[in-house]
Amino acid sequence: MAVLIRRAEARTMRVVMIGANGQLGSDLVSLGTAWDLIPLTRRELDICDFVHCRTVLSGARPDLVINTAAFNRVDDSEDEPSSAFWANTYAVHNLARICGELDYRLLHISTDYVFGGEKRVPYTEEDPPNPLNVYGVSKLAGEYFVRDLCPKHFVVRTSGLYGVAGSRGKSGNFVETMIRLAKEGRPIRVVDDQVLTPTYTHDLAQKIKELSDTEAYGLYHITNAGHCSWHEFAARIFALLGLNPDFEPTTTAAFGAKARRPAYSVLAHRNLQAIGIDILRPWTEALEAYLRAKSYL
């Protein structure tokens, strides 16, 4: 096992947080007491504007830039490819180029949707990507810019995010949507042929902090442990809350979403373990923790 390389600096790390009001960004901001934190929303920093972005970042002089900003509406990306590529590729190119030129460290969030779902065992960081949709292509292109232009980088792929703050672009998150539909008495049909690992952003934020305290730059998969289908995830939510909605499994084909999605996108955590960092707790435990944090339990 590789020896974990930790940063030697004793002073508090100055961190620029891009996408600070998002679902993951909010949980990272909550770690602010551990950092000299500069939280930035789109209003304060437009990463699509290279000159503005370089001016802001050069003035901030951070030890680390964390980018959680993205256009993550997967189906909308099929109709709005320019929106997906501006946010997930061109803006990331700007960040990577600026951080590389200024010798800043950059931690960028990517997705399991860079994979095509051909495997039936967890994808490692060494497996070749094969995205099936515009969103996945745009995120993979952003990854390549980070890895090519910024030597001191961390690229973190994750999946199925849900957090207390919710996703503004998705009107909450999957857990909240399931609870709302159940309480409204609506029929619920959830696909049972897409397998992934739902990941609690609180847990992911803690692990990102741990990784950022090292100089072990590279590509990492970070999710909660285990895996399930979206249908199994929903069933677990209902069981924990004692809900009994009109709930049945369906198939991807029958559901008819605009964007193709991988049938299997479970991520292995090989690189994280190789540097001596423990993986996250099982997704079942994380879900219970989320429901308690939201006062559902």
The tens digit of pLDDT for each residue in 255-283 reads 999 999 999 999 999 999 999 999 999 99
Residue 171 pLDDT exceeds 80: no
Q: For the chain, give the number of residues.
A: 297
- Decide if 296 is inside a domain: no
Provide the pLDDT confidence category of residue 10 given band limits of 50, 70 and 90. Answer: low
Structurally, the chain folds into a number of domains equal to: 1
Residues of the chain above pLDDT 90, percent: 87
Query: Is 135 considered catalytic here?
Result: yes
Residue 200 pLDDT exceeds 60: yes
- Decide if 290 is inside a domain: no
Is residue 60 within 8 Å of 95, Cβ to Cβ?
no
- Decide if 81 is inside a domain: yes
- Decide if 101 is inside a domain: yes
- Decide if 160 is inside a domain: yes
pLDDT recorded at residue 1: 40
Average pLDDT taken over every residue of the chain: 93
Residue 5 pLDDT exceeds 70: no
Residue 234 pLDDT exceeds 60: yes
Residue 87 pLDDT exceeds 90: yes
CA quadruple 17, 22, 26, 27: dihedral positive or negative?
negative
Q: Are strands 195-196 and 228-229 parallel, antiparallel or unpaired?
A: antiparallel
Mean pLDDT value across residues 287-292: 97
pLDDT recorded at residue 169: 57
- Decide if 251 is inside a domain: no
Mean pLDDT value across residues 81-91: 96
Angle, CA 271 vertex, CA 265 and CA 275 arms, to 5°: 150
> Which of these ranges, 135-149, 164-178, 183-197, has the smallest mean pLDDT?
164-178
Residue 157 pLDDT exceeds 60: yes
Range of the domain at 132: 14-172+197-226+267-281
d(CA 117, CA 223): 17
Which CATH number do you get for residue 201? 3.40.50.720
pLDDT recorded at residue 267: 98
The region that residue 105 occupies, defined by phi over 0 for left and psi between -120 and 50 for alpha, beta otherwise, is beta
DSSP, res 4:
P
pTM value?
A: 0.94
Taking 3-state DSSP, the helix, strand and coil percentages for the chain, each rounded to the nearest 5, stand at: 40, 20, 40
SS3 state at 257: coil
- Decide if 205 is inside a domain: yes
The residue annotated as part of the active site, out of 104, 135, 162, 217, is: 135
- Decide if 286 is inside a domain: no
Residue 181 pLDDT exceeds 50: yes
Residue 175 pLDDT exceeds 90: yes
